[in-house]
Amino acid sequence: MKFGIVINEGPYTHQSSDSALQFVKAALGKGHEIFRIFFYHDGVNNGTDLGVPPQDDRNLAKEWSELAEKHGLDLVVCIAAAQRRGMLDADEMKRHGKNASNLSKGFRISGLGQLIEAGIQADRLVTFGD
């Protein structure tokens, strides 16, 4: 089965990001395909490279990045939601005249068309968070 995943909540304010991560790992372990993971609303905070969780806590952005690298996953951060929350990649940093980018490795910024495509291409679109 081919899944599209939507994550609407941040990494440490709600369980949904961690639940999505565990779901994706389990689905991949069972041989399913993950077409795309789309981070929307506060879910874009999963892609920040500036989060520094305590040493005894999990670094979900790093875990997403490592999982994406290992399995060739497409991690897409909604551009509008990201910009509202101060998240930029190198291109958006230049375009807006800012002096820093903060998108974690393996994530990319794009628009809602990527979510629509995931809904069309996937057999199931699974949403985590409100």
**Active-site residue identified among 34, 37, 68, 78:** 78
Q: How far apart are CA 48 and CA 82, in angstroms?
A: 9
In degrees, to the nearest 5, what angle opens at C-alpha 121 toward C-alphas 67 and 106? 25
Q: Which amino acid is at 70?
A: K
The reply to whether 78 belongs to the active site is yes
CA distance linking residue 89 with residue 79, whole number of Å: 10
Active site residue ranges: 78
